[in-house]
Chain A
Amino acid sequence: MKTKNTILTTITAGVFVALVGCGDTSSDGGSSSAPAGPSAVKNSFAEVSAKLDPNGSLYLYYSTEDVIETVEEYTDALIGFAKETAGSGAAGFRPGPQEQAMIDSGTKVGKAFYDQLGISEISGVGMSSIEFEKGLHRNKTVIHHFPDKSTGKLWSLFGSEPHEIGMLKMLPADTALALSHEFNAKALMEWLPELAKASGDEAIEAQFDQAMQMANMMIGIRDLTGSFGNQVGLFVTLDTANTIPLPPEMGGEIPTPGLGLVMKVKDDKIADMILIALETSPVPFEKQSIEGIEAHVLTEPAPTPFPLAPALFKLDDHIVAASNSKLAAKIIATHRGDEAGLTSTDEFQRLAKGLDLKGNHFFFVGELIGKTVAPIMDAAMEAQPLPPGFPDFDLEAAYNMQTLGLVRVEADGIVFENHSTSGLVNSVAIQAGVVPVAVGAGMLLPALAKSKTEAQRIACHAQLKQIDGSKEMWATQEKRADGDTPSEAQVGEYFKDGMPSCPEGGTYTIGAVGQKATCSTHGSMGQE
């Protein structure tokens, strides 16, 4: 009986659910439309979205094939229109036969450049941005092409497949900014003649060949590009233990900066060429051993506010230039593992969490950059404050942005990925709004500082003039002669708020009647 009841209950429940719960709401009760399945027109959604992160603040896939094709169609027609307009003289000038030929050749080269670059092979683009950890965003941008459409130079000029970033092993722990890029110079050298040929003008082709031969003869350009290891990098260190003062009008101090340049090479050709150049140069370089590595060091430091006596040396398959020997020693020690480098810092490890450090291009911006720039920017803002209520452009977030990113050239496209304290949308907003404000303020800073100082000098001299006038009046009223000196209180009688003081903190010497009053900072009237 119980079993019977159970079966009955179960069947009843099932029928009820089937009738009520499983009804197709889209056809009667609700308003949602029938679900759609796969796309009837091929696209790269699956391929691109597989590389993106859902659930974040930005997610985008956009198929570009149709758009690019349509744009190309119109571009061809518009180029024809432009040529026709130029040829008719409607644009304000009528080109001669030579100019017309140049326009034709230029158009052909431009077209060949575009066609061979591989833009038309892009099947789709994707973007995503997710705050994967509180305050830390993973931003991705994908440019996809199908593997069977990969003849474009875009897919090979900037690297062929991701690899370890060699420069990373050399970066000292106080690295604040680092960039490493890959560029296939040899492929470019092979492409350029093709482009010249595309002009269809034998003269241009011949001129190009001649220029190449010349470059080859003078600097051995073919050998050099063959020797170049396709990777170059730059980094900036900031030594917080040693600071340098900022100009007095700004005040404060910043960590001592250091600069490193790195180039990967396949052999000694480039290094030898640099050495010959150094040996024949009038700048005094000498061979020194830094951490057991032979280096060429500038013996007379440049007159800069920070130590600049470049040291040039070879480290494995890299040529390295450091702004001074101390930095060179740090680089070598880091590379050997004797000293903890950037990759061992908490900041780097936090940013690198879950990020594959293999890539073709690499960039890092550390907290130190913000900490160093912020006081300078604050000084600029203080000198020229924004009106009250002026919208906050999130300058603080912009200064303190920390980013670790890589660009990977993969078999089916290019992936830009970074871990940053700022999301992609915010980064764009910062670049579009904050950076121009910051750069503008930075450019204005010296002028503002100068104008402030100048204004203070003018105000001070005006007060000195008034003090001299007061002394004359005092002498007349008190029947005093030249050489007599009034007290501050006596001079102050002639001013509404008593004896004035220098706006920049200088000390006034009233001086005798007949002599000029002076300021310890700004001198006397007539003195600059």
Chain B
Amino acid sequence: MYMKHYPSAPAPFFFAALLIFGCCKPGVLSADNTPKGPPAAVQTSFAEVMSRLDLNGHLYAYLSTEQALAKLDETLEGLISMAKTGAEAGGGNLMDNPFLAPIIEGVLGVVEPAYRQSGIGEISGVGMSSLAIEEDLWRSKMFVHHQPDKGTGLIWDVFGEQPHTMDVLSLAPDNTMALMHSDLDAKRVIDWADAMLKEMLNGESLMANAPDEVKNILDSFGNEVGFLMTLDEENKMTLPGFMFDQQDDIEMDGVAFALLVRVKDNTLLEMINGVMGGGLGAPQGTKVGSVTIHSVPLPIPLPIKMDLSPCYFQVGDYMVLSSAESLARRMAAAHGGKGRLIDDAGFKALAKGLNLKANGIYYADPQASEWGMEINELSMGKLEGALAKVYEIYEESLKEGIGMVSLFKVEEDGLLIEGNSTVNPYGGNIVHSIAGVGVAVASSLNDLQQSGMFEDLGGFGGPPGFGDDSDFDLPRVTPPDEE
């Protein structure tokens, strides 16, 4: 009997050995992805967090937040207690004041549960990493962890439940310059907000009294919302030169926008049709493949030359409001498999190595930052002197454009944000961003100075009457009444 079983014994061992040793590819979410060292006497979420991040990069960080959040919790309780027992200037208790007491109670009734139900207090640790996977391609990650038994807060499920295929990528045309799209559990947010408001409104629920239309919209909402922007080099827009102190009009790539909402049915489309048709049924639409595009007439003509032809349509599971019919056509074509962002070589190169299953996505084409820079330069005007030198450095950093694909993933034990970008987001780029803001502020102050608005207060150029120089050597403008 004994011998009978003996020969088959190696099979399960082999099976187990394969599972244990043979299946883990290097670096795949295993404990091997973290630095080795003796364990801590007090357990932290270090291993759980760091196993999601990339070793060897320019940034690799972990912070256990449990102690700090416990302290915050204690502080919050202390402050609430202080508010409830605090004395007025006259000596009486704040809660005895018939005017202040309801305000304090209302605010505390909202603040405390809002914090408790938000899930912030459940964060056990956060981690970040940034690694150059190629010379000009950086993988950055951020993971916010909660212990498996603590994940009931709003932040853990309001932006989705688990990563899924980003269907919106099949709608985005290949000239998409920026895309922001995310899961959003609107009902969860509204229920949470309603519970908070109930506290302030003495138990009265706003949602309970909401009109049926609101409930129908919420029932129809597919828990995804997004925005995209395209640049069309074949469809230029012309901006009047006077807007930027220039003689000639300025020609730039045409810009178009679209708002996207995932829907479960056509309730939203029918509602909009009803409104647009003035009760006479849906307005006439243009058929592009399987998609019907409905135009929204403009009340007044635009003073600038650009493709602004608002329209709305439902494509697949998405209800879209677009600023231009040309964009709507491109989206309809993308839905049919032509000219999709996801097939674009530039996008593919940027998204290299990323699993595009996610709950949210942010995409910026390198061209978008170049276009933004162009607008920036026009609006800031000509800078002179050393400030121009600062601006030159900033400009140089954006010369080749910054591209980025960032994905937001709701996982069982936390939230993961991972993405690729053409620059290290945590390196010198931080300094460039700060400098960019600085230059913009300095430039705005310059413009204010030039406008003469602050002449009566002495302007920004020192005490009144001191010389004739303004900041940055720019000419002083005399207000009209002094002329």
Contact = CB atoms under 8 A, between A and B. Distances in A.
Contact of B386 (A3, A13, A35, A77): A77
Interface stretch (A40-48, A225-233, A252-260, A515-523): A40-48
Interface string B448-474: 000000000000011100110111110
A49 B60 contact: yes
A62 B11 contact: no
Nearest to B428: A70
B82 A78 contact: no
Chain A binding surface SS class: mixed
A96 interface: no
Interface string A1-40: 0110110011001101110011011110011111111111
A135 to B, nearest CB: 8
A24 B26 CA distance: 12
- Most chain B CB within a 10 A radius of its CB, from A74, A392, A429: A74
B74 A391 contact: yes
A224 to B, nearest CB: 43
Interface string B136-147: 010100000000
Contacts of A391: 74-75, 78-79
A316 to B, nearest CB: 38
Interface in B426-440: 426-428, 430-432, 435
A6 B14 CA distance: 11
Nearest to A17: B18
Interface in A50-65: 52-63
B52 to A, nearest CB: 8
A84 B132 CA distance: 39
Contact of A59 (B41, B50, B67, B78): B50
Contact of A63 (B14, B58, B409): B58
A33 B86 CA distance: 53
A74 B355 contact: no
A107 to B, nearest CB: 13
A90 B428 contact: no
Given A32-B28, A425-B68, A41 B58 contact: yes
Nearest to B55: A45
A90 B41 contact: no
Contacts of A423: 67
B428 A69 contact: yes
B18 A21 contact: yes
B61 A59 contact: yes
Contacts of A78: 386, 390
Contacts of B389: 77, 80-81
A5 B19 CA distance: 21
A74 B393 contact: yes
A292 interface: no
B211 interface: no
B26 to A, nearest CB: 7
B8 A33 contact: no
A86 to B, nearest CB: 11
Contacts of B36: 54
Given A57-B64, A132-B40, A388-B82, A35 B430 contact: no
Given A22-B23, A31-B358, A134 B42 contact: yes
A52 B61 CA distance: 12
B80 A389 contact: yes
Contact of A46 (B27, B41, B56, B137): B56
Given A5-B7, A389-B79, A36 B54 contact: yes
A67 interface: yes
Contact of B46 (A39, A46, A59, A88): A59
A81 B41 contact: no
Interface string B224-256: 000000000000000000000000000000000
A69 B58 CA distance: 15
A464 to B, nearest CB: 28
Contact of A70 (B44, B55, B431, B470): B431
Nearest to A73: B393
Nearest to A74: B435
Given A17-B19, A88-B469, A90-B470, A5 B59 contact: no
- Most chain B CB within a 10 A radius of its CB, from A3, A53, A388: A388
B179 interface: no
A277 interface: no
A52 B358 contact: no
A59 B60 contact: yes
Contact of A31 (B39, B81, B163): B163
Nearest to B396: A73
A368 to B, nearest CB: 25
Contacts of B77: 389
Given A21-B23, A389-B85, A425 B14 contact: no
A66 B427 CA distance: 6
A92 interface: yes
Contacts of A13: 11-12, 14-15, 18
A122 to B, nearest CB: 13
B41 A132 contact: yes
B230 to A, nearest CB: 26
B288 interface: no
B168 to A, nearest CB: 16
B375 interface: no
Contacts of A83: 386
B413 interface: no
A24 B14 CA distance: 21
Interface in B95-137: 131-135, 137
A9 B428 CA distance: 58
A142 interface: no
Contacts of B27: 35-37
B28 A26 contact: yes
A133 interface: yes
B355 A30 contact: yes
B80 to A, nearest CB: 7
Contacts of A16: 15
A91 interface: yes
Contacts of B57: 36, 39, 43, 45, 63
B285 to A, nearest CB: 37
A70 B432 contact: yes
Contacts of A70: 397, 427-428, 431-432
Given A26-B355, A90-B470, A388-B85, A58 B63 contact: yes
B78 A9 contact: no
B58 A37 contact: no
B22 A17 contact: yes
B467 A89 contact: yes
Contacts of A136: 41
B62 interface: yes
B462 A54 contact: no
B443 interface: no
A39 B432 contact: no
Nearest to B68: A425
B432 to A, nearest CB: 7
Given A90-B469, A390-B78, A392-B78, A62 B59 contact: yes
What are the 5 closest A-B residue pairs judged by CB atoms, nearest first? A389-B81, A35-B27, A70-B428, A81-B386, A31-B163
Interface of A: 2-3, 5-6, 9-10, 13-14, 16-18, 21-22, 24-27, 30-41, 43, 45-46, 49, 52-63, 66-67, 69-71, 73-74, 77-78, 80-85, 88-92, 94, 124, 130-134, 136, 387-392, 394, 423, 425-426, 429
Interface of B: 7-8, 10-12, 14-15, 18-19, 22-23, 25-29, 33-42, 44, 46-47, 50, 54-64, 67-68, 71, 74-75, 77-82, 84-86, 131-135, 137, 139, 162-163, 353-355, 357-358, 385-387, 389-390, 393, 397, 409, 411, 418, 424, 426-428, 430-432, 435, 461-463, 466-467, 469-473
Given A59-B35, A90-B473, 7 more contacts: A45-B55, A56-B46, A57-B46, A66-B424, A94-B467, A387-B86, A391-B74
15 contacts: A14-B14, A21-B18, A22-B23, A30-B357, A35-B25, A36-B54, A37-B133, A40-B135, A45-B58, A54-B46, A54-B50, A55-B40, A57-B46, A59-B46, A82-B386
